[in-house]
A and B are shown apart, each in its own frame.
Chain A
Amino acid sequence: MINIENIKSVKKYNWDTDWNYQVELKSGGTSGVPNDTNNIDCLVVLEWSEVDGNTIADAD
Chain B
Amino acid sequence: MPLSKIQTTNNQVVPNLGRRNIIINGAMQLAQRQGGALTVGVNNTYCLDRWKFYLNGSCAASTQKLPATDSNVSSLHTASGQTFSNVMSIDCTTAATLGSTDLLGVLQLIEGANSVPLAGRSCTLSFYVKTNVTGQYYVTFKIGSGRAYIAPYTVSSANTWEKKTITLTMDTLANLNTSGSIATGAGFQVYFGLRLGTSSQTSSTINAWHDGNFYGTSSQVTWGTNTADTFYMSGVQLEIGDTATDFEHRSFGEEEALCQRYFETGTFSQRISGTLVRTGQSYMTTKRSTATVNVYYDSNKAAAGTINISNSADAGWAEGGNVNFWNMEKNTGSDHNGRDYNGFFTAEAEL
Contact = CB atoms under 8 A, between A and B. Distances in A.
B292 A34 contact: yes
Given A1-B44, A15-B320, A34 B291 contact: yes
Contacts of B328: 32
20 contacts: A1-B348, A1-B350, A3-B44, A13-B320, A27-B303, A28-B303, A29-B302, A29-B304, A31-B292, A31-B293, A31-B319, A32-B326, A34-B289, A34-B291, A34-B292, A34-B321, A36-B290, A38-B289, A39-B291, A41-B292
A22 B318 CA distance: 7
Contacts of A56: none
A2 B292 contact: yes
Contacts, number: 73
B248 interface: no
A9 interface: no
Interface centre among B291, B302, B319, B348, by most chain A C-beta atoms within 10 angstroms, is B319
A12 to B, nearest CB: 10
A28 to B, nearest CB: 4
Given A27-B303, A33-B292, A41-B292, 12 more contacts: A2-B292, A3-B44, A3-B45, A13-B320, A29-B294, A29-B303, A30-B304, A30-B305, A36-B289, A38-B288, A39-B291, A40-B351
Interface of A: 1-3, 13, 15, 18, 20, 22, 25, 27-34, 36, 38-41
Query: Do most interface residues of chain A lie in helix, strand or loop, or is the interface mixed?
Result: strand
A34 B316 CA distance: 18
B184 interface: yes
A3 B293 CA distance: 15
A7 B184 CA distance: 26
Contacts of B292: 2, 31-34, 39, 41
Interface residues of B, number: 33
B351 A29 contact: no
B313 to A, nearest CB: 12
Contact of A39 (B289, B302, B318): B289
B320 A34 contact: yes
A34 B184 CA distance: 16
Contacts of A2: 292
A50 to B, nearest CB: 19
Interface string B271-300: 000000000000000001111111000000
Interface centre among A3, A13, A27, A30, by most chain B C-beta atoms within 10 angstroms, is A30
Q: Which 6 A-B pairs have the closest CB atoms?
A: A32-B319, A29-B303, A30-B305, A34-B290, A29-B304, A38-B289
Nearest to B278: A15
Contacts of B288: 38
Contact of B293 (A1, A25, A32, A38): A32
B242 interface: no
A40 B321 CA distance: 15
B307 to A, nearest CB: 11
Contacts of B223: none
Given A1-B46, A13-B318, A29 B305 contact: yes
B306 interface: yes
A7 B304 CA distance: 13
Given A15-B329, A39-B291, A39-B292, A30 B351 contact: no
B135 interface: no
Given A15-B329, A25-B304, A32 B294 contact: yes
